[in-house]
Chains A and B, each alone.
Chain A
Amino acid sequence: MNQENLLNLKSSKGLRNTFLFHLEGVSVNFGTVHALKNVNLTINPGEVLFITGKSGAGKTTLLNLLAGDLNSKAGKVISPDHKTVFTSQVFQDLRLMENKSCEENLWVSYDPKIYKNKNEYHQDMMELCNVLGVKDFLSIKMKDANGGLKQKVAMIRALLSKPQVLLADEPTAALDKESAMKLFEILNFYNVRRNLTVVWASHNRDLVKQFPGKIVHLDGGKLIYSGHACFI
């Protein structure tokens, strides 16, 4: 499915009638370091947004702000009707339980409020593991797993929590191109079928240009460009 078709599909479903996050003149400081400077941004439901920029540009800070882990020094982050938007993260440092197996790490996302029973969760888990090639490594302890496997487990864990917004910080850093493409296909599938909003931070602008979606480019904490990837 190309980018144009994808955008038409979303528009036809009328998914863009309200925003999920609206950032108005947001600034974040860490002591004397200005991580974000006067950022204005709107994220709509069902959008795929790539945040690009060099290391230290403010990508992770922006993700943490959207996740509610950080508070802005100036400006405000508005969510519709001030309701909490449930976000799930793929952290840059992954934050997996190293002494637990892949499967045990994946069960962290099992929320009885979301899933009817454990079987339903297990079915979803196995489906994702199968697509991403993790199925045969479920019993491996995280400390013995390679970087790629860890990254995939972190991504599956985030998707299994069925979030409204998926915040992924360099999710393909340890993956080869083929695995990265497969991962994006899955996110695309969730985006179209389940209206999942994806916010993907990456320093690799060439990689994200291959995927359909919106790009926000940060430099030194300032928002330099916001628009579709094809126009950058």
Chain B
Amino acid sequence: MFYLNHFLKSLTSFKLNGLLFVLLTVILTTALHNRSYVQKLFSLANKTITRPYFNALVTNDVNLNTVARKLKKLPGVEAVTIKKVNDVKDELGSLKGELDTDVLNSLVNINYTSLTVELGRSLQARSQSLIREYLTRLVGKDSITISDIKKPKILKMKKNDPYLFLNNWGDLYLIGLLTVIWFASCFSFSKYLNNYSYLIEKFQRKKKVGLKIFSFGLVTTVTASLLGNLYFNPKVAIIEWLFMITLIGFSLIIFKQKMEYKKLV
């Protein structure tokens, strides 16, 4: 408790460096614990449709979840996405400049939802139209408007394309970058903590004060951050935790050497 108390005192004494260090520790721990989520953030999948697809506007009196479920069962249908009503209204709002206000008002007043149906790449044109016809029959001709089938170009990326790099290595790149910044902040905070601990060591009968204050503070911050993360995402990430433990170990080396008082500007 003595060392933890002094860690908190040093945080209040060296506000900017101390709080930045704690904040970066929490961010790094969170990023490590939720690495799969970070991976998804950088992933190109789910962001770009590379398969043939068509859109449909369906009135809201139809149960779209049932329609989507039935469509998914069809061979050749890869994915069905239902867009929220708000998203559709936003899209209409963005068309204000392009459409006549009367047309826009009439469109807004109609209650409908947008649907995107992605099809298999090898599906023939005949099968594609059969799927469209099935959807029209399922919903009713008066309740649906279907677009043509769009065939997006498949993205061909070079090996060193930054998007591809982020897709493959984005999570590791972010964690690596955070680790470097964290070490820099750790080093900066250690300079201040070093002088603070030096004085305690000089005037109290204690040894290795800096190392103890830093380890108590760091372990407490990491543990609290992990517990918080576990509350929201109770997945055990052993490799990431081991990585964090290794980082803690390395950071303690800074305090292993004998303390010297340094005049700070």
Contacts and interface: CB of A to CB of B under 8 A. Distances in A.
Interface of A: 69, 86, 88-89, 91, 93, 95, 97, 99-100, 108-114, 157-158, 160-161
B257 interface: no
B203 A108 contact: yes
Most chain A C-beta atoms within 10 Å of own C-beta, residue among B2, B200, B203: B203
Given A97-B13, A99-B13, A161 B261 contact: no
Contacts of B196: 97
Contact of A111 (B198, B204, B263): B204
A91 B262 CA distance: 13
A69 B260 CA distance: 8
B199 interface: yes
B6 to A, nearest CB: 10
Contact of A88 (B200, B202, B263): B202
Contacts of A95: 195, 198-199, 261
B263 A93 contact: yes
Given A111-B205, A113-B205, 17 more contacts: A69-B260, A86-B205, A88-B202, A88-B203, A93-B263, A95-B198, A95-B199, A97-B13, A108-B199, A108-B203, A108-B204, A112-B2, A113-B204, A114-B205, A158-B203, A161-B202, A161-B203
B203 A97 contact: no
A109 B204 contact: yes
Nearest to B202: A89
Contacts, number: 38
Contacts of B13: 97, 99-100
Interface in B246-265: 260-261, 263
Nearest to A98: B264
Contacts of A69: 260
Interface string B6-34: 00000001000000000000000000000
A160 B198 CA distance: 17
Nearest to B198: A95
A1 B195 CA distance: 40
29 contacts: A69-B260, A86-B205, A88-B203, A89-B202, A91-B261, A95-B195, A95-B198, A95-B199, A95-B261, A97-B13, A97-B196, A97-B199, A99-B13, A100-B13, A108-B199, A108-B204, A109-B203, A110-B204, A111-B203, A111-B204, A112-B2, A113-B204, A113-B205, A114-B204, A157-B203, A158-B203, A160-B203, A161-B202, A161-B204
Most buried by B among A91, A95, A110, A160: A95
A171 to B, nearest CB: 15
A113 to B, nearest CB: 6
B9 to A, nearest CB: 9
Nearest to B206: A111
Nearest to A113: B205
A119 B203 CA distance: 18
- With most chain A CB atoms within 10 A of its CB, the pick from B198, B202, B204, B205 is B202
Contacts of B202: 88-89, 161
A144 B206 CA distance: 30
